[in-house]
Chains A and B, each alone.
Chain A
């Protein structure tokens, strides 16, 4: 089953989303800041990354840029997760190299569709 790297600093969000993704049958690994996310991307080689944008150490845009700059990880699709209020930052997300984005709070069916679409494309 596909492995998803969830980069999220908020413990509650991490807990909820990981449990629901696991229930959907995904393998989930987690990072709690941007730098850790970049590191885990190259160590764990996940099939997809869910990246929060407002992260400590380095933020989500920067982390995404690093993931996409690394030849080992650049193929991994990244879905940016932004708060509704930040919707206007989506252009920034795309510019940073994100493959798709979704707003928080997460609507699972919608997010799942995006995840499945990107995974299918990667295959």
Chain B
């Protein structure tokens, strides 16, 4: 791309110049005095995207500018003649400017006049440099914004002279001084207080990566920051950036927590000491009251002073009652403090029973009760804590004596080994007394709660006895349960293992197992709650329904119990120490063995959506509505879903029964409507009724009519299974009273199982939701 004269000398120089031009990183264009383009290199063509045919000595600088302008190089709508004039005016001296080309590249253009007129233009592509500058600028802006908005205080201090290079608004705020004027000053002048400043300066001169807690006085307020150091190069200086995080609130909260913990511990110590002292201080005068009143009774007896005997007897029995109360409270506080120890020894049952009889005989006499003991010969012994077992028996028997008048109290002992082969002794204490309602039973094992408040009025007692009894049973690895009919009497059943497992004796918090002994098929339900009262209530409610209850008091225990033997249903408290209910639910749903177990969340906080999203099956808020809980459990329990099959054809009944039982449901059969009604009289309402229409004695239509008139069965879902061709009227009748009509010919009875199971489940659900 050149237009030079030829000739050997000139030719060599030209070749040299050519080579120089072509090897330059810049685009070069030279114009003569008439502004004609005389020489240029490839880069010039490339940078300006010049068509080759346009270049040549016949073109002037003006032509070339006009051409570029016409191509839009100077931006849309630019006036070409104005642009040209601007450029021509500059040509008599050296100048440099930047040009942004439409394709985004940036060229630096430098034009220098040459001595014989004309000029040279040099084009440099500075796109990359411009981009780097832009990035740097953005970084700086970002830093400035972050620096200003960050709650973390930042200060940059020179490593060389300790001067403050930079500080951000949060730093100023955290330090509590208007330190903007401190820029450039030494870091030791950050505080007015010299000691404080020196301490901070020492921290700031620490190694990179160090984290230090620094306490200082902020205008009279005691504050605390966490200072982290990191080396950095700042404006070419070796510097350190220190970040200040205000942890005053956290530190304060921690201190308060520590104080609260210490206060609680000290309160607990005080309580223990108080109880120990109380036991001594209260007992000593009581001792005198009881002892001297006894002496006075004996004296009065000698004198034949009957009037005094009665009054002295009242003093004595009031004293004994008070003593019993003190002993109970002490026992309970010891149990609660985990300081009640278990002493195991071989206890011979016949001896134990005769000891107990001596003690309770006078109580039996007081209410004219017969006391019957059934203790099989050769019942032998068990290894347990004699004192606690005896106390339990006396407690149960004295309760029975107290609530029974002119009736019978029976103590029956028997051996009952459980399914794991563990040898157990069963103690039944049955009375013919006033009995209790279900509601009263629910409250029975709670501290200071008797069956109802009138009980205390009429029968006295501390309300602690059964709580202690239950605790003792647990400590001995056993259980105590009650069945009762109001007006008929109550039976307390205590079951203790032949041997107390070491772990039970020393760790009463192990998951406890309450078993129903009547063999009714129930669910294994794991109750997870840190509140023992919830365990008591649920145990009472659920075990009466024949369910087996497992207990766990925190998430860890629950997981251990579930992994050992997965339960059928889990009831889960949300608020627990250590692992909370949500976390536990999360863990369960991530374990293949546990994820299928239905979980009923029991909670004070109604966080239904969170519960369902985590996979909870059902949700209940405390206080627990027992009827609803039972409904829910029934819903999860196939074992309790009974389907009544009403059909006169024994073969059909058999096929359907098989289909039903293969789905884990229970089938009941009746051969006609009348029989079905009889069955309903004697049994609990089934989950579903499968009904044939054409039957002898009472057909399906009449049965449906009667069924819907009964209170207990008005809502039972009915599925009709018929071979009959139905009339419009019949269809309408059935549509009102049944949920589905299946044709026997269209639907082989054997394939019904799954559909029936689904219907039964739906039926159970709608039952519980009403």
Q: Which residues from chain A sit less than 8 Å from chain B, CB to CB?
A: 10, 12-13, 16-17, 19-20, 23, 83-85, 87-88, 91, 104-106, 108
- Taking a contact as CB atoms under 8 Å apart, the answer to whether A84 and B343 are in contact is no
Neighbouring A residues of B276 by C-beta, 8 Å: 85
Q: Nearest chain A CB to B496's CB is how many angstroms away?
A: 20
- Taking a contact as CB atoms under 8 Å apart, the answer to whether B343 and A13 are in contact is no
In-complex Cβ contact of B330 among A12, A20, A85, A108 (8 A): A85
The 7 closest A-B pairs by CB, nearest first: A16-B291, A105-B287, A85-B279, A12-B288, A105-B290, A84-B327, A88-B341
In B284-312, which residues have CB < 8 Å from any A CB?
Answer: 284, 286-288, 290-292, 294-295, 298
A13 and B291 in contact, given A88-B341, A105-B323 (Cβ under 8 angstroms): yes
- Taking a contact as CB atoms under 8 Å apart, the answer to whether A16 and B295 are in contact is yes
Neighbouring A residues of B323 by C-beta, 8 Å: 105
Nearest A residue (CB) for B288: A12
Q: Nearest chain A CB to B38's CB is how many angstroms away?
A: 118
A105 and B283 in contact, given A85-B330, A91-B343 (Cβ under 8 angstroms): yes
Neighbouring B residues of A88 by C-beta, 8 Å: 341, 343
Besides A23-B298, A88-B341, 7 other A-B contacts (C-beta < 8 A): A12-B291, A16-B291, A83-B279, A84-B283, A91-B343, A105-B286, A105-B323
Neighbouring B residues of A83 by C-beta, 8 Å: 279-280, 283
Q: Does B387 contact A (CB under 8 A)?
A: yes
Q: Nearest chain B CB to A49's CB is how many angstroms away?
A: 20
Neighbouring A residues of B286 by C-beta, 8 Å: 105
Neighbouring A residues of B294 by C-beta, 8 Å: 16, 20, 108
Q: Nearest chain A CB to B664's CB is how many angstroms away?
A: 51
Cα distance A2–B705 in the bound complex, in angstroms: 89
In-complex Cβ contact of A87 among B284, B290, B387 (8 A): B387
In-complex Cβ contact of B291 among A84, A85, A105 (8 A): A105
- Taking a contact as CB atoms under 8 Å apart, the answer to whether B291 and A106 are in contact is yes
A19 and B327 in contact, given A83-B279, A85-B276, A105-B286 (Cβ under 8 angstroms): no
Cα distance A17–B292 in the bound complex, in angstroms: 9
A12 and B295 in contact, given A83-B280, A88-B343 (Cβ under 8 angstroms): no
Q: Nearest chain A CB to B355's CB is how many angstroms away?
A: 10
Q: Which residues from chain B sit less than 8 Å from chain A, CB to CB?
A: 276, 279-280, 283-284, 286-288, 290-292, 294-295, 298, 323, 327, 330, 341, 343, 387
Cα distance A99–B306 in the bound complex, in angstroms: 39
Q: Nearest chain A CB to B357's CB is how many angstroms away?
A: 13
Q: Nearest chain A CB to B408's CB is how many angstroms away?
A: 26
Neighbouring B residues of A91 by C-beta, 8 Å: 343
Neighbouring A residues of B287 by C-beta, 8 Å: 12-13, 104-105
Neighbouring A residues of B279 by C-beta, 8 Å: 83-85
Q: Nearest chain A CB to B468's CB is how many angstroms away?
A: 13
A20 and B295 in contact, given A84-B327, A105-B286 (Cβ under 8 angstroms): yes
Neighbouring B residues of A84 by C-beta, 8 Å: 279, 283, 327, 330
Q: Nearest chain B CB to A40's CB is how many angstroms away?
A: 23
Q: Nearest chain B CB to A35's CB is how many angstroms away?
A: 23
Q: Nearest chain A CB to B289's CB is how many angstroms away?
A: 9
Neighbouring B residues of A13 by C-beta, 8 Å: 287, 291
Q: Nearest chain B CB to A113's CB is how many angstroms away?
A: 8
User: Which among A12, A85, A91 has the highest number of chain B CB atoms within 10 Å?
Assistant: A85
Cα distance A105–B324 in the bound complex, in angstroms: 11
Q: Nearest chain A CB to B313's CB is how many angstroms away?
A: 15
Cα distance A20–B296 in the bound complex, in angstroms: 10
Q: Nearest chain A CB to B340's CB is how many angstroms away?
A: 9
- Taking a contact as CB atoms under 8 Å apart, the answer to whether A16 and B288 are in contact is yes
Q: Nearest chain B CB to A110's CB is how many angstroms away?
A: 8
Nearest B residue (CB) for A88: B341
26 contacts between A and B (CB under 8 A): A10-B284, A12-B288, A12-B291, A13-B291, A16-B288, A16-B294, A16-B295, A20-B291, A20-B294, A20-B298, A23-B298, A83-B279, A84-B327, A84-B330, A85-B276, A85-B279, A85-B280, A85-B283, A88-B341, A91-B343, A104-B283, A104-B287, A105-B287, A105-B290, A105-B323, A106-B291
Neighbouring A residues of B290 by C-beta, 8 Å: 105
Q: Nearest chain B CB to A42's CB is how many angstroms away?
A: 29
Q: Nearest chain B CB to A66's CB is how many angstroms away?
A: 26
Cα distance A83–B287 in the bound complex, in angstroms: 10
Q: Nearest chain A CB to B283's CB is how many angstroms away?
A: 7
Cα distance A88–B334 in the bound complex, in angstroms: 12
Q: Nearest chain A CB to B32's CB is how many angstroms away?
A: 121
Neighbouring B residues of A12 by C-beta, 8 Å: 284, 287-288, 291
Nearest A residue (CB) for B289: A105
Nearest B residue (CB) for A108: B294
Cα distance A85–B684 in the bound complex, in angstroms: 52
User: Which among A20, A88, A104, A106 has the highest number of chain B CB atoms within 10 Å?
Assistant: A88
Nearest A residue (CB) for B323: A105
Cα distance A25–B141 in the bound complex, in angstroms: 107
Nearest A residue (CB) for B286: A105
Neighbouring B residues of A23 by C-beta, 8 Å: 298
Nearest A residue (CB) for B334: A85
Nearest B residue (CB) for A54: B280
- Taking a contact as CB atoms under 8 Å apart, the answer to whether A16 and B292 are in contact is yes
Q: Nearest chain A CB to B692's CB is how many angstroms away?
A: 70
Cα distance A84–B343 in the bound complex, in angstroms: 15
Nearest B residue (CB) for A16: B291
Cα distance A15–B292 in the bound complex, in angstroms: 9
Cα distance A105–B322 in the bound complex, in angstroms: 12
